[in-house]
Structure 1
């Protein structure tokens, strides 16, 4: 493809052209503003498809710039520079936009002092409508082709090559409701985005998910019919897809083995559900899967992950109240715990679920 080959050449020269590109673009910046997160992408429905919530524009330059975004706009009030600050002080990714009549090229550089090029993109327009997008990275390229019906995006074809190997094409279908609002983004049978029914509030959605999660936790703990002695049941989740969570069963046999091997350092394994001999990945039915997908989508788009953690903690409290119903063989110090799989909020959640034991356990937790 001619466009890909041209962009490959641009990518190969972009590294040595960083200072030139930076200077040539930033001279057109007439003002800067800050945001709490990304607010801009040229890819149609980027935030909906990836379930990202948009940032909020800040009134003034923040004192702490870590994990913030800074944008430079030109005389036409269009964004031509994006700086994505990392958690490392003073280091940020940079993206520069070169705007022409029917094409926008972007250059994204990493946060290292060497400013290595991450990718180069070319967005090509026809009658002000995005027609194709080419992306070149170090190990390959991507081409997006956009099709429209009745003035609305209908499909997006994704073609790729990585490490000189062709990857199967992907097709995304876009649907809109009667007033022109995006209704869904679907790839085969998988929904990347599905607009919620306006009759269902987020509060009601949370209530429905809470009931389903509690029911599934009860069922899976009961069906597992664990016969080994347990020191904990660990409900854990991944930040990328928080619902449904998974269940880990901490056995006394494993704990004794870890203590013998690691001594004081064993607590890093004792409270790491990924290392447990017995785990359950909850597998809901199709209807419940769709409910969870909708909830995860709305949670991500509205930046309400703390709401999910609170809900999981409340489920654990309920399980704790009825633990005797499961006829488990428990140690004297048995507990119910919940955290992300990296144990990032283990202590915080432990105190909420087991407040009467926190002083005893706080130095044993990671």
Structure 2
């Protein structure tokens, strides 16, 4: 993938204000206000055609904005509170107005609710954006009832996609991921189901999430993959060892989920932070009281560089990811408009080769303590699908 083009230049318009040092507050003052959560509904913003302010990147043959938007928490935040739905719709539309063309969701988020939110928000400009969804968990496509384990049987995959299409108010999914690899179903059988859906025009590209390397290669051989989605950030650098080099070899794009370390790299978490019951971060041992003080060294690195570059810690974390490879596209999620604008502004942060070497050295010198996910979730990561017997 080293022959892929670099980002296109960024033309001047109101999106470029973030990169000119006006800051989030000043830039936000130029945009339509978003209604608060006091029960007064906001009138849906009239969709406007997105000017190409953000640079574009390629995931395989698929062109997307250099920063995407994950909508996972738009039905329920990490701390278990429920966001104000009209505000979530407005944030998605603001993202589009700011040049974001890449939106990520899954049937499992809700289940179903995030697909409904995204489908409603983009209905007026559906043909101008790239949307993703995912299948793989054992979720009833009609009721949303979730049973234990995974389910990637071909007949289930096709039913899951039909449900996703209805909720997303569209006739096709631009990029469909297998959310977690089902150890009971050969990847070649899954690829066959995806090929059928592609033939019908219901899926345009496919990818894998949190898979083993053997499965990655076999899947790509059966039906070329467009992208791989896995956790990757300053806080979790596991894909660097094998997954990212394999993607480069095979010409597959890489989409980091949780590129801000579930909020950690923005500085939102400190030594005194304790998490609400139901917040997944409460069971991630990297945030346990015995590990948190050590891991906060990473936040200090991001803060130091934010001061040096006139940016925010979150922007440094995203810019660091984006500079690793020109075919890496992070999908930070947010339920706050100011944070959305901050994330988009990361695309304007650049590093000289010497600066990048210094920043890389500082990041890699810190060995993160604790697990990135609880055991019951990690059990489904890096799983290899069986060969077709």
Q: Which has the higher strand share?
A: 1
Relative contact order (alpha carbons < 8 A, sep ≥ 6): 1 or 2 greater? 2
Bigger Rg over Cα = 1
Normalising by structure 1, report the TM-score: 0.25
Normalising by structure 2, report the TM-score: 0.24
